[in-house]
């Protein structure tokens, strides 16, 4: 019980005053838009930022309760009902990096790898403004220690590590490059 209480208090302190991004869909009775026709007609694309006052329902009650207890600032994005789950997660993750919502010095990149080239050429306009990492293992330890908020790395490696070793982390976003792999085997 003490571990659970300590964890809850730790999460309370970590979220205090921090923006917490979330994507919601209208799903009565949990989320009910006050003016759905107007809200959807004003949408460009699949997403629209909305205020907590623009909907009601069970989810809003829970959100307000948690916000009151933990002190975070909700940043709510409404998604069209036709949006699939994986698109919801990818939309938040990718937009946060590309739109500069995550400070570049909080993005971990392993120096000297293909991911670094991708970041420099596609995201940062050749600025080395990221948090430099020496090894792939540092990705996970610096995330857990709170030194970075996000890291870019090989999707297969991340899937393995988050499913088997670092189970308190999760991968988000879309694959941005394809690689070929070779498996070493013993000669007979």
DSSP 18-87: -EEEEEE--BTTTBEESSHHHHHHT-BTTEEEE-GGGEESHHHHHHHHHHHHH--EEEEEEE-TT--HHH
The mean per-residue pLDDT over the stretch 151-168 comes to 77
Q: Is 92's pLDDT higher than 80?
A: no
pLDDT at 114: 81
CA-atom Rg of the chain in angstroms: 20
Decide yes or no: CATH 3.40.190.10 for domain 2-83. yes
The mean per-residue pLDDT over the stretch 77-106 comes to 70
Provide the phi-psi class of 104: left if phi over 0, else alpha when psi is between -120 and 50, else beta. alpha
Tell me: the pLDDT tens digits for 119-132?
888 778 888 989 99
Topology agreement, domain 2-83 and domain 102-164: yes
What is the CATH class of 102-164?
alpha beta
pLDDT at 183: 42
> Residue ranges of the domains in the chain?
2-83, 102-164
Helix, strand, coil percentages (3-state) for the chain, rounded to 5, are 45, 20, 40
Instruction: From 163, 122, 155, select the one nearest 136 (Cα to Cα).
Output: 155
Q: Is 5's pLDDT higher than 60?
A: no
pLDDT at 148: 83
């Amino acid at each position: 019980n003490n571990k659970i209480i300590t964890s809850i208090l730790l999460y309370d302190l970590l979220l205090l005053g921090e923006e917490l991004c979330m994507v919601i869909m209208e799903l009565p009775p949990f989320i009910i838009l006050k003016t759905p026709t107007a809200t959807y007609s004003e949408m460009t694309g699949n997403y629209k930022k909305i205020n907590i006052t623009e909907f009601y329902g069970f989810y809003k009650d829970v959100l307000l309760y948690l916000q009151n207890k933990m002190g975070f600032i909700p940043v709510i994005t409404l998604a069209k009902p036709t949006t699939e789950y994986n698109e919801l997660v990818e939309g938040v993750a990718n937009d946060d990096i590309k739109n500069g919502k995550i400070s570049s010095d909080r993005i971990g990149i392993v120096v000297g790898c293909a991911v670094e080239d991708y970041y420099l050429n596609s995201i940062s306009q050749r600025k080395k403004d990221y948090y430099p990492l020496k090894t792939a293992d540092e990705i996970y330890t610096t995330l857990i220690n709170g030194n970075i908020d996000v890291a870019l790395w090989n999707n297969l490696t991340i899937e393995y590590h988050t499913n088997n070793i670092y189970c308190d982390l999760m991968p988000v976003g879309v694959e941005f490059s394809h690689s070929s792999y070779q498996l070493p085997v013993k000669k007979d």
